[in-house]
Amino acid sequence: MTFVEQVPAEELSLQDAIKEYLRERCLEAIKQMILQGVNYIEIDFNDIISFSDELATYIINEPQTALRAFSQEIQNIVSEIDEEYLNRYQTFIARFRNVPPTKLREIRSEHVGKLIAIEGIVVRATPPKQKIVKAVFVHEPCGYEFEIEVEGDIIEKPVVCPNCGKSSGFRLKLESCVYEDFQRLMLQERPEDVPAGQLPRSIEVDVRGALVDATRPGDRVTVVGVLKLRRPSSQRKLASIYDVYIEANNIVVSQRVLEEIEISEDDERKIRELAQDPLVRRKIVASIAPGIYGMWDIKESIALLLFGGVPKVLPDGTRIRGDIHVLIIGDPGTAKSQLLQYVSRIAPRAVYTTGKGSTAAGLTAAVVKDKSGEYYLEAGALVLADGGVACIDEIDKMDDKDRVAIHEAMEQQTVSIAKAGIVARLNARASVLAAGNPKYGRYLPNRSLSDNVNLPPTILSRFDLIFVIRDTPSPERDRRLARYITVVHGASGEIKPPIPTDLLRKYIAYARKNIRPKLTEDAKKLIEDFFVEMRKKSLESPDAPIAITARQLEALIRLAEAHARMALKSEVTAEDAAEAIRLMKSMLESVGIDVESGEIDVDVIMTGKPKSAREKYLILEDIIRELSKEEGCAKIKDIISKARQRGLEDKFVEEALRKMRKEGIIFEKGSACFALVP
């Protein structure tokens, strides 16, 4: 009896439709497959729907039968075009894309055995393995060899020999089995799809053949495949509860173009109309956290962070980041957390986390051991935020060893990991919006930024903009603030932003995807002149501090590009450069000031020590060196006495000695007696 005679009449007509479809619409794709030397073709599911609704429904409801029919017909066509090509592959595969998606959270028993598409983030991936797809058994008593098709993770031994009918003495002949590349992924819901207060759900995905290593942890993907039940490993008893998994037919990796936000033609028309408004930038800034009073510069910097600059890749492969990092330091009760929460909702792609609840592994990537004892990678918050915004609240509460982990992610925009024999590098191309509290409860204006904040200079120097929010009493401002807050509470949700939230999200996604502004000559000249002018101040006297470095220059260019993107402009004009310079000067004049000299000194941010403090440290080192020559070490009372003669305060000397000891510059040689580390 032939295969065709076993198939019901209705199914037979649908298999004829598959033949007709492949020969009508996929001949070119099959020829391309042969030229490229692969064993699969990609088929747009929308094209199948336009060809036949019945065929599309058949593929969704009976995917395994349909896929076998597709495979057989592709093989028949290949034999007609190039018969020798059949010897290269055992099977040929039809991979589908643009299948109507199902939310991971909505998977139910009715989906078992159906073709589904799930969008999510790959959070784990096992190393590639070899899976037996055809097991070859030898029956030892009679020497008969035969094949068995393998499905799932378990190979079932034959019950009887097809040759002699006996039921024992079977041996698996490993060298003759047919193998296929295999990998298991863990797919997790996207952060924006998780309802408030619930944990993200995940599902295992089995991939084979060319799909192995097609994706890595942190990638946003759409998985098309058949939903199946995972058989328990124990065969002693029959289980009644099963886990589901997806056997992948196709994996489409979403590139960094914010594909998860759909922008229709009507949306694009609205976006273009909005960009024509001369006050569009003011409206965008006013639409950011409308329930929070004031903070115009901070809201503008957040808007610039959401739009971002343009990343560049130089001919030698060097990558220059386009993402903007912003740090907000503020007194308690100044709405820092509310700003971060708002950004995590408005950004097209965002992950929100807090410093106290995050570890280095949770922020970057972890190496995890599975039940079988094998190690694999699990992506952290910065990797999951790739292409979006990572909001880190209470960054000052993080442990020092955990905070170090974000250095590389902020500047190189990658996460490197080398643990348990796994050496990997993952993308973390995310903007970082962080907030923290002052070290002493409230920000002290008579102390430098590094003294006020429990963050090392290595982190502070990586932020493009740093803002300090001080809660200072002012009767007039306090009256306006109180009136605004009472209006917000009384309005019960009637405070409407100038631009609706949904439209603003689409506007940001559209700008990031399509607009890549370039610097005009006027903008270049303005930025160059500002940089040179600020640097000139360092030449006015040998003791003058350095006001600005190349790191701030790159930040200026990013800010100017983001400002142009806000109005969907293809060029960065002098107006954009001027606004970037204004924000940079505002930052330097508030946090980049040496509180002793009153001059702008970027080393306050870059190194944590302004020039005036560095000179005092050098004087202290000289005093310890001189005193150590006489007695081998310098006693504290002698150091303080000599320091007074050189104009150093006792309090500064005590703090400096503590810091120098912590940094390994000096060590305690005897009781209250210090010497320089050789």
Check which CATH number belongs to the domain holding 400 and give it: 3.40.50.300
Is 89 in the same domain as 162?
Answer: no
- Residue range 560-570, pLDDT digits in tens: 999 999 999 99
Is 526 in the same domain as 667?
Answer: no
In a domain? residue 597: no
* Exposed / middle / buried, residue 301 (Cβ in 10 Å: 0-12, 13-18, 19+): buried
What residues of the chain score a pLDDT lower than 50?
A: 1-7, 256-257, 595
Question: Which among 71, 97, 123 is the end of a domain?
Answer: 97
Is 122 in the same domain as 33?
Answer: no
User: CA 268 to CA 510: how far, in whole Å?
Assistant: 8
Is 363 in the same domain as 511?
Answer: yes
Residue 4, pLDDT score: 37
Show the CA angle centred on residue 442, arms to residues 440 and 445, nearest 5°: 100
User: CA 526 to CA 530: how far, in whole Å?
Assistant: 6
Q: How many domains does the chain have?
A: 4
Closest CA to 561 of 429, 464, 423: 464
In a domain? residue 516: yes
Residue 606, pLDDT score: 57
In a domain? residue 598: no
User: CA 95 to CA 113: how far, in whole Å?
Assistant: 17
Is 502 in the same domain as 485?
Answer: yes
Is 500 in the same domain as 403?
Answer: yes
Is 638 in the same domain as 554?
Answer: no
Tell me the residue type at 268.
Answer: E
Range of the domain at 53: 3-97
User: CA 9 to CA 12: how far, in whole Å?
Assistant: 5
Check which CATH number belongs to the domain holding 58 and give it: 3.30.1640.10
In a domain? residue 600: no
First to last CA, the chain: 91
Is 560 in the same domain as 657?
Answer: no
| pTM summary value | 0.72
Closest CA to 127 of 81, 87, 183: 183
| Count of positions (residues) in the chain | 678
Residue 386, pLDDT score: 82
Check which CATH number belongs to the domain holding 250 and give it: 2.40.50.140
Measure Cα distances from 135 to 170, 229, 352, 543 in Å.
Answer: 12, 21, 48, 80
Q: Which residues, including other chains, have CB under 8 Å from residue 626's CB and lie 6 or more apart?
A: 642
Closest CA to 300 of 500, 562, 480: 562
DSSP collapsed to 3 states, 136-148: EEEECCCCEEEEE
Question: Which among 65, 81, 97 is the end of a domain?
Answer: 97
Full DSSP string of 536-574: HGGGSSTTPPP---HHHHHHHHHHHHHHHHHTT-SEE-H
